[in-house]
Amino acid sequence: MKIKVLKDRAKEMEIEVESESENLLNPLKEKLLEMDEVVYAEYYKEHPLLSNPKIYVKTKKERPREVIKRALRELYEEVKSFREQVEKVASP
C-alpha cells in the first residue's frame, strides 16, 4: 500500500491510497466520524475502475494528520481485541 497526500492544511487533509480498496478506508471513516474533533470524513473513488480511493478529513482545531493517527491506533486496538476474543473461543 502506498499513500499520497493530496492536501495537508491546518484543518483538512486529503489522502490517495494506491493499491487499496475500501476495506480499510470505510472503517477508518467510521472511526473518524465517532470523534468529536472531526467535522467531516469521507472516502471516495472518482472512477470505480480507473482511480484510487481517497479519504478526506476536516477537523475543528486539531491537525487532521494527528486525528487520523489516533483513529488508526484505536482501530488497531479494536481489531486486536476482537482477534484475541475469537482465538479464545476457537481454542479447544
In the chain, what are the domains?
A: 2-90 (3.30.1360.10)
Distances 57 to 13, 84, 85 between C-alpha atoms, Å: 5, 31, 31
Give the SS3 label for residue 76.
helix
pLDDT score for 7: 97
User: How is residue 20 written as a grid cell?
Assistant: 487499496
Angle between helices 22-34 and 64-90 (to 10 degrees): 110
Separation CA 30–CA 45 (nearest Å): 17
Helix, strand or coil, per DSSP, at residue 42? strand
* pTM of the predicted model as reported, rounded to 2 decimal places: 0.87
pLDDT digits over 43-73, tens only? 999 888 888 999 999 999 999 999 999 999 9
